[in-house]
Amino acid sequence: MNITTWNVNSVRRRLERVLEWVDEHEPDVLCLQELKCQDAEFPAEAFTSRGYSCSVFGQKAYNGVAILSHRARVPHSDVVTDFPVPGDGQARGIACTVHPERCAPLRLVNLYVVNGGELDSDKYSYKLKWLDALVEWVQAERQRWAGPMIVCGDFNIAQADLDVHDPKRWAGQVLCTDAERERLDRLKALGFQDSWRALHPAERTFSWFDYRGAGFDRNEGLRIDLHLVSGLPPQGPIDVVIDHDARGRPESSDHAPVTIFLGP
C-alpha cells in the first residue's frame, strides 16, 4: 500500500496536473492540502470516475484538506474533521481509518499546519497554540486507536537544519524556529518517527520550493511535507519518495508529492 501527501496549492487551479499525476501513479491513498475551495466546489467527479472515494473538509479561498482512497483497494471509514481547534473556522485537519486488503486497518491523519507568517504576527502565535492543541488531539487519538497510525501532510516546519537548503539564512525564521521544532518533537515523542529521515538519515533533499527566486531550479527548498508513522509492522516503510519531477512541471504546485510505500 502507498499513501501520498501533497499540498496542491488550489485543487481546481492545479486539477490537470493532479489528475495527470494520479493517472501516472494510481496512488492507493491521496492526502491533499490547501484545496482553497468549499466542499461543494471540490472536483469530486474527476476522482470518483477514477475509482476513488473522496472525503473533503474545505474552506472558501483558503486552507482545505481531503483524503481520497481507491474504493476497491483501500476503502476508508470513520472520518472526522474540524480539529485540533474545533470551531475555529480553519479547515486544516481530516482523519479516517483506511482498510487495506492485506494489511491491518490504519488510522490516517491529514494536516495542513498553520504557516505562521512573521515572528511578531498573530499568525505565528496562533500557529504555536494550534500545534499545542494538535499534540493534545493526537495523544487522545493515539490512546483511542490501538493500531498503526500515520500523521501526514504539510507541517510547515523544517524539523532540522538538514531539512533546510541554507540553515544560516533560515535560522530563527518562521518554519525553522526552536518553538515550532520543539512542538514537532513533542508530537513525535508520542511514538512517531519521521519515515523519510528513518530511511535517509543523512540525505538533504526538499519537498517545498518557493516560486520566487527560481527556488526549484536552484534546489533551494525546505522539507516540510512529512509522514510520521507509529505502530507499523517491524519492517516499517519500504520506501518514501519525494517526486521532484511533478514539482518541476509547468503550472505545478510549489510542493512536491511525497509518497510512503508500506508493502503489498
Kindly list the catalytic residues: 112, 154
The three grid cell numbers given for residue 82, joined into one nine-digit string? 474540524
**Is 106 in contact with 74 (CB distance < 8 Å)?**
no
The three grid cell numbers given for residue 204, joined into one nine-digit string? 538533504
Which residues face 259 on adjacent strands?
A: 4, 241
The three grid cell numbers given for residue 48, joined into one nine-digit string? 470518483
CA 25 vs. chain centroid, Å, equals 18
Query: Of 193, 49, 30, nearest to 96 (Cα)?
Result: 30
Residue 33 burial class via C-beta count within 10 angstroms: exposed 0-12, middle 13-18, buried 19 and up: buried
SS3 174: coil
User: What is the rounded distance in angstroms from the CA atom of residue 246 to the CA atom of residue 111?
Assistant: 21
SS3 55: strand
